[in-house]
Structure 1
């Protein structure tokens, strides 16, 4: 067990869970305890790792929460011991909005859904979606050309882009039709904000309680459900074959049984893909642009690579293999600011992790942010250095030291989709614009559902002739 001298001293005075070092209490109800802001949990977990070791009991009064920041323990939790756990309480809270999709479902139902959905996410199928991503990005960049004289909130712009891409690639829907798409996007944003706020609330009112925030949430849910079920029904009635994700999901079958998804299952998967894809990729693109804006040499290197491969043409799926440094930039950004900053599980029985006993009901979190900033794994871990993701450097590292999309049987099914989306969009942005931050300082991350910028990410853009 990795444990500093400070950790050893601390555990003499704090309660432990079968040898697991206990963090100083962070609960505001406990007199004299330091406060922990929900938006700073990623930093707190990193501090716990650096002072207490690879595994820490957060020492909360109402629940048992254990945080791990070790590649070996993360590997054991997510692979060898995955059958001893289910999704954690926070992730299950998402089912209020997303339903019983791949992100939140469990057991045999999840396994069946995964088998049915998997063919839609083959690389050969995703390649068909590249043109839709390019079309959505081109539309946004054309708008930027008329607005480039004013600073843009890049975080907001990237979320607009990923919502547009989700509409095109999932439903074959034209997001420029604001009258129809606008209410859908607004309702989804409102409900994901509701869930995010619920994550951070100490006391959670029962969802059936008819308070204003709950009434607004369920009103939005009814709007979202009507729209998605209408998309599904319209596609079935038309018989139209379309190379979008809805079309692929409608055609997908369980290879063992031939079963297809029910309308409710399709609704849940569509909601999950739309919400999760928009949120993670939007934040990933925003953070990547921040780092490029701050590092002129890397911005110029990416632009030179894109120009040498594409000239002024739009990127195609097959071009991405010839843009290795572009990919390294995205990967390094997701190391420093991983949108999915932690992975949560709940023990369904008494079990073990390494030499530690984990009791039934314990919430166990893999701190992805901690793994990505460990000084014994990453040289100068706080620095933005895309070179560390060259093939040679990547081959030297343990697989579970870098987990932007999770790992194991429940690794994100949309990982290739998200990487393709971010690379295509970034290639087109650097082709047409140069950009710089209004402030020279890096924005702090705020931990909610994802790691998002704490404040507006204002940038000045200059169109490239």
Structure 2
């Protein structure tokens, strides 16, 4: 049973956005009336960021999604904001305008003491004992699905999205989803898409309206499940343990907080992994020479086609991990990270006032030739221990960093390694010559056509 520290109040030093002209001393542009630069940013975040950086430098002003922010570029900026030595950058207030109607009280929308207390409680799901349990569940679930892909030409993204949702349910909820699985998946899709809806109010027929409706459905479902598990005294799965967790004074965590955390974790455990696994499959299909090397590694570790990958053998798939990291570099699942400055600070020669929205860009720094020679080239050997040691620690930030480093990153590595071991020891992944899918970059990258691949039995 987890123990939670008492809730801490939100750490807030501001009451509203800065006045309209408070950021005029910072170069940049506000774009169109009302919309600002929302549409060009949505269409091509990397290209937009590169153009703005080339025009205005490493610190520039931008208006999008109804707010004016200051964007900071480079690994030093990432370290300042993510490591946050002085506790000056609020994640809750940065993500709030994007996610507060959809994922309130998820870990990204908590700060400092409150965040630390809830993160400590949630970490029970990622200790060695439950991770071993997840390994068994992932091997079974992935093998059962993947063995039916032989000879099929199929859109990979929807198939892996359904699979990762089923795996998250099995791992975190302890039970497979029933007939409500389709409705749950749709709710998550609508909520994630609403995060970048141009209309920010939940009006009928808008993306935000659909997203809030999806959240309401999930709140009802998870609330009923949480109450049921409390009445039954809990179980070994993560949801049951968290539903019966108590704070240091012995009181149970409120059910609505349990529900909010579970919704956020389930989203993170399947939507971001879906994106990352899809980008890796695409890059391996495009580069069959790397696919062959990962296959040889998986066969050497597992001992044969379709055999399970054991928990104690995860670390042996070194090349697979490097390839996954390179896929995360080229197509990070979270293209940008927002924060709010609680106090005035300086960066790049500019004074940035308290209350300013501040953003950094994983997708931008990951393609910066200052850190990554020939950045568009797929090269897993960028992540050998020797190469990584020579690079700025914050030049690669697909999982964020500092106190808000992704809690489930080891679960993501484990799931993708098992997936690759099951696929590559059975099949050769092929695409049509010259095929290159277009990617929807926001809110979580995905191929617009679903990624058309063919699994050819070995």
Query: Do both proteins adopt the same fold according to a TM-score greater than 0.5, normalized to the shorter chain?
Result: yes
Matched-pair contact (CA < 8 Å) for 2:138–2:418? yes
| C-alpha separation in 2, matches of 1:352 and 1:72 | 13
Instruction: Show CA shifts across 1:308-361 (max 9, x none).
Output: 111222111111111100100100000000011111112234333353211233
| C-alpha separation in 1, matches of 2:446 and 2:204 | 30
Q: How many positions carry a matched residue from both structures?
A: 435
Equivalent residue number for residue 333 of structure 1: 327
| C-alpha separation in 2, matches of 1:16 and 1:30 | 20
| C-alpha separation in 1, matches of 2:60 and 2:356 | 12
Alignment of 1:191-340 (within 5 A): 191-193=191-193, 195-196=194-195, 199-201=196-198, 203-205=199-201, 207=202, 209=203, 217-239=211-233, 241-242=235-236, 244-250=237-243, 260-312=252-304, 313-340=307-334
Equivalent residue number for residue 21 of structure 1: 27
- Say which SS state the counterpart of residue 152 (structure 1) adopts: strand
> Aligned pair in 2 of structure 1 residues 252, 234: CA closer, same or farther (>3 Å)?
closer
Where structure 1 has 5 or more consecutive residues not aligned to the other structure, the ranges are 1-14
Equivalent residue number for residue 76 of structure 2: 72
TM superposition score normalised by structure 2 = 0.86
Instruction: Show CA shifts across 1:175-226 (max 9, x none).
Output: 4x4x232322233323333x14xx241x433x3x566766655543343222
CA RMSD of aligned residues (A): 2.9
Question: Alpha-carbon deviation of 1:18?
Answer: 7.0
- Say which SS state the counterpart of residue 435 (structure 1) adopts: strand
Question: Alpha-carbon deviation of 1:454?
Answer: 3.5
Matched-pair contact (CA < 8 Å) for 2:335–2:362? yes
Question: Alpha-carbon deviation of 1:443?
Answer: 2.9
Residue 111 of structure 1 is aligned with which of 116, 121, 139? 116
Matched-pair contact (CA < 8 Å) for 2:91–2:110? no
| C-alpha separation in 2, matches of 1:44 and 1:22 | 12
| C-alpha separation in 2, matches of 1:87 and 1:106 | 6
Alignment of 1:39-438 (within 5 A): 39-58=43-62, 63-78=67-82, 79-88=84-93, 90-145=95-150, 148-149=151-152, 151-175=153-177, 177=178, 179-193=179-193, 195-196=194-195, 199-201=196-198, 203-205=199-201, 207=202, 209=203, 217-239=211-233, 241-242=235-236, 244-250=237-243, 260-312=252-304, 313-438=307-432
> Aligned pair in 2 of structure 1 residues 49, 454: CA closer, same or farther (>3 Å)?
farther
Matched-pair contact (CA < 8 Å) for 1:91–1:344? no
Question: Alpha-carbon deviation of 1:430?
Answer: 0.8
Question: Alpha-carbon deviation of 1:419?
Answer: 1.6
> Aligned pair in 2 of structure 1 residues 59, 228: CA closer, same or farther (>3 Å)?
closer
Question: Alpha-carbon deviation of 1:29?
Answer: 7.0
> Aligned pair in 2 of structure 1 residues 106, 259: CA closer, same or farther (>3 Å)?
farther
- Say which SS state the counterpart of residue 147 (structure 2) adopts: helix
| C-alpha separation in 1, matches of 2:174 and 2:27 | 51
